[in-house]
Amino acid sequence: MDRPTALEFSFFVSLPVMLTASLYTLFKSLHHHDATSEIGNLPTDAHHVVTLVIGFVVSFIVAYAVVAWFMNWVRTRGFTVFAVYRLLLGAFVLWYAGHAIAG
């Protein structure tokens, strides 16, 4: 299997897991009797519900665009730049965490 196909397959395999986890968290939040939940304060009026729906739609569109862009990037340029970026970011996070713990 070539890399772009493997990338597409990994995204498609992750979709049911992410969807199930999100729906489970939403279910727990809606059936919890507390005012606050894992996803924050639950909407109490129409304005908050509309705001939540708008946020969901915008985040879905942005996520879809980013995934499409990234898959196109991998098809045309490969993983090298992404791998270097991840290694540098990981090294920075470890360095920052070490300094935050030390002092």
pTM of the shown model: 0.60
Residue 36, pLDDT > 60, answer: no
| Domain boundaries, given as residue ranges, for the chain | 3-78
Report which of 87, 62, 68 is spatially closest to residue 4, judged by C-alpha positions.
Answer: 68
The pLDDT mean for the chain works out to 84
Across residues 51-65, what is the average pLDDT?
Answer: 91
Task: Give the total residue count for the chain.
Answer: 103
> Exposed/middle/buried for 37, CB within 10 Å: 0-12, 13-18, 19+?
middle
In angstroms, the Cα distances linking 99 to 47, 93, 102 are 43, 10, 5
- Model confidence at 37, in pLDDT bands (50, 70, 90)? low
Q: Would you state the pLDDT for residue 1?
A: 77
Instruction: Record the tokens describing residue 30, joined without a space.
Output: 């809606």
